[in-house]
Amino acid sequence: MQDMGETVAFIGLGVMGYPMAGHLARAGHTVTVYNRTGSRATAWVKAYGGRKATTPAQAAAGARYVMTCVGNDEDLRNVVLGEKGALAGMGKGSVLIDHTTASADVAREIAGLAGKQGVSVLDAPVSGGQAGAEAGQLTIMVGGKPAIYKQATPLLAAYARMHQLMGPVGAGQLTKMVNQICIAGVVQGLAEGLHFARAVGLDRAKAVGVIAKGAAQSWQMDNRAVSMIEGRFDFGFAVDWMRKDLGIVLAEARRSGASLPLTALVDQFYAEVQQMGGSRWDTSSLIARLEAVKSKR
């Protein structure tokens, strides 16, 4: 534990934010938390100490660093802007670190408004899911000024195994979009491979055991192949959230002129999973769609 920690506010105690804020408290920082559902903040304070605030502005008052981890662009605006938002409580020289997976546009918008009052911003979306947050093993993609990033790295280290400055504000979100594009394609490929193996009569577990030692190996295969075979889809990152992320990706692609045919197709497949009642299933549930299609034939 550090001899002297920072004064930190953490806004948003969902499945990611709750353990992330806990790691900051365990690292010796003084943490004030805010969550829209107050009972969640009460439980956090009981578990880790610190203080519960009734508004984002109150949480941010006096904090050198303010972390946000909420659902989407509008959620982020709601907790950062306005008379009760975090910016209203932040002083000159403080730093807002946003861990929300959101658009690059909202990151730049908030950075512009924050800069007018002397507040620096890092957009810092994370990858690694609930398990990574709980273990303190997240990967963080950061956009912002190098000096501010360097200043904030001891705090990021409390819950990250890897963090990297990617460029100016917005670059963190753009890098997270690359992450989601890659995940979508890999999960669909794994789902099709397992579906095909079953259709041709292979022992799917044995097939995975062989190909996982070769070029087909991936994190998704190592961590989700068995549960996909067993039809278990309760690993935290829901289809609803993936569709939100892919919507951001596809909107950015339209603006930039990037061609993402596979990503657009997988987004449609996730829409079908939602229609099957799988909105809260995790992203590996793409295989359930394939099995359902086969059963209808």
* Catalytic pick among 116, 145, 150, 176: 176
- Separation of alpha carbons 103 and 236, rounded Å: 22
What whole-number distance in Å separates Cα of residue 104 and Cα of residue 119?
18
Rounded to an integer, what distance in angstroms lies between the CA atom of residue 242 and that of residue 105?
19
Provide the 3-class DSSP secondary structure of residue 249. helix
Residue 208 CB burial class (10 angstroms; 0-12, 13-18, ≥19) = buried
Per the annotation, the verdict on 176 as an active-site residue is: yes
297 SS3 class: coil
Which of 112, 46, 45, 106 lies closest to 79, judged by CA?
106
| Token pair in block for residue 165 | 């400055």
In angstroms, the Cα distances linking 6 to 9, 48, 121, 147 are 10, 16, 17, 17
Q: Exposure string (b/e) for 271-294, b if CB count within 10 Å is 16 or more? A: eebbeeebeebbbbbbbbbbeeee
Annotated active-site positions, please?
A: 176
